[in-house]
């Protein structure tokens, strides 16, 4: 397999990398760029732990072949905070105890982030719909939904 050049903007930074053709976006993020925040939980797009925002939409990065995203804009959990300054979603997750083991959390945050960008004042059902592709085994989702609702309020939405 030849290597091909991949250009991406990841969390605001321009990346250029020679990669093997069969790498998924998740592999590039974790192994090539050291951004291990996005996780692999199942490999088939059924758990959402790998969720990132690609060109403005939440996607399972385990299903996106990296070269397919060439030229695109990727946002991962590592890009949410600005230095020490946490994103209101992150703050809200902390304040509402919306995480336990933390493994699904990056994916949850990105699904939530994508939602709030599209819909700044989501109702509970809309929040549930937005995160229903993100499995969590620890929290039972209630505090996560509360956290997203509160973040929306803080951001001036809900």
Partner 1 sequence: MSVHDSWRVDAREKVTGQARFAADLHIPGQLIGKVWRSGQTHARIVSLDATEAKKIPGVVKIMLAGDMPAHTTWSTYPFLAQGRVLYQGDAVALVAAESEEAALAALAQMEAVYEALPPVLSLDEALEESAPILHNSYPDNRVANSHWPVRKGNIREGFEQSDLVLEREYRTSHVEHAYIEPEAVVVMTDWDGSLIIYGSTQNPFNTRRAVAAATGYPLNKVRVVQQAVGGSFGGKEESVGLLAGRASVLCLATGRPVKMTYSREESVIESSKRHPFRFRYKVGAKRDGRLMALQAELVDEGGAYNFQAQFMNWRACVHAAGVYHIPNVEIDVYAVHTNHVFGGAMRGYSSPQIIFAQESLMDELAAALGLEPLALRRLNFLREGDETITGQILHEPVNAEKVTLRALDLADYERKKEAYRRQDPDTRQVGGIGFATCFRGCGLGAEAPDATGAILSVQEDGSIVVRSSLTDMGQGLQTAHAQLVARELGVSPARIVSKPVDTSLVPEGGMTVASRGTYSGGKPILQAVARIKQILLHVAAQKLECSAGELAMANDCVFRREDPSQKLSFAEVASAAFWSGHSLSVTEWFQPGPLRWERETGQGEAFPSYTYSCVVAEVSVDRLTGKATVTKLVSVHDAGRVVHAGAASGQVYGGMAMGVGMALMEGLNFERGLVTSTNFDRYLIPTAADIPEAVFEFLPSDGNSGAAGAKSLGEATVEAVPAAVANALAAAGYRLRTLPALSESLLKRERG
Partner 2 sequence: MQSFAFLRPTSLAETLALMSEHAGHCRVVAGGTDLVPALREGRLQDVSVLIDVRRRPELQGIKRTEHGLWLGGGTTFTAIVQSAEVSSAWSLLVEASRQVGGKQIRNLATLAGNVANASPAADSIPALLCLEARVSLLSTRGTREVQLENYLEEKTTGQNPLNELLLGFLLPYPRAKTQARFVKVARRQALAIARLSLAIAGHAEDGVIDWVHVAPGAVLPYPQRLTKVEQFLTGCRLSAEICRAAAELAAKEILAQSGKRPSFDYKLPVLKELVKEMLEELRERV
Interacting residues toward partner 2 by CB under 8 A:
1-2, 4, 21-24, 43-46, 48, 51, 57-60, 62-65, 67-68, 70, 111, 114, 129-135
User: Of these partners, partner 2, partner 1, none, which one is at the site of residue 51 (CB under 5 to 8 Å by kind)?
Assistant: partner 2
Q: Rule CB under 8 A: which residues touch partner 1? A: 30-31, 34-44, 46-47, 49, 76-78, 80-81, 86, 90, 93-97, 99-106, 109, 127-129, 131-145
- Minimum CB–partner distance for residue 105 and partner 2 (Å): 16
Backbone angles phi, psi at 142, to 5 degrees: -60, -50
Cβ pair 121, 156 in contact under 8 A: no
Task: Considering only the C-alpha atoms of the chain, give the largest distance between any 2 of them, rounded to a whole number of Å.
Answer: 50
Cβ pair 25, 69 in contact under 8 A: yes
Backbone angles phi, psi at 68, to 5 degrees: -65, -25
- Minimum CB–partner distance for residue 24 and partner 1 (Å): 12
- Minimum CB–partner distance for residue 111 and partner 2 (Å): 7
User: Of these partners, partner 2, partner 1, none, which one is at the site of residue 70 (CB under 5 to 8 Å by kind)?
Assistant: partner 2
User: Of these partners, partner 2, partner 1, none, which one is at the site of residue 30 (CB under 5 to 8 Å by kind)?
Assistant: partner 1
Nearest in space to 102 (alpha carbons), one of 124, 130, 133, 77: 77
Backbone angles phi, psi at 137, to 5 degrees: -105, -15
């Amino acid at each position: 397999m030849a290597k091909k050049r991949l250009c991406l903007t990841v969390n605001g930074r321009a990346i250029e990398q020679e990669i093997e053709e069969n790498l998924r976006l998740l592999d590039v993020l974790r192994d090539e760029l050291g951004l291990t925040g996005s996780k692999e939980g199942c490999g088939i797009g059924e758990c959402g732990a790998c969720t990132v925002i690609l060109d403005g939409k939440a996607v399972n990065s385990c299903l996106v072949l990296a070269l397919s995203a060439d030229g695109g804009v990727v946002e991962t959990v590592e890009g949410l905070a600005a230095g020490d300054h946490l994103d209101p979603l992150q703050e809200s997750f902390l304040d509402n105890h919306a995480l336990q083991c933390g493994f699904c959390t990056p994916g949850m945050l990105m699904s939530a982030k994508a939602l709030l960008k599209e819909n700044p004042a989501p109702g509970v059902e809309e929040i549930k719909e937005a995160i229903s592709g993100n499995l969590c085994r620890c929290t039972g989702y209630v505090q996560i939904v509360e956290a997203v609702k509160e973040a929306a309020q803080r951001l001036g939405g809900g």
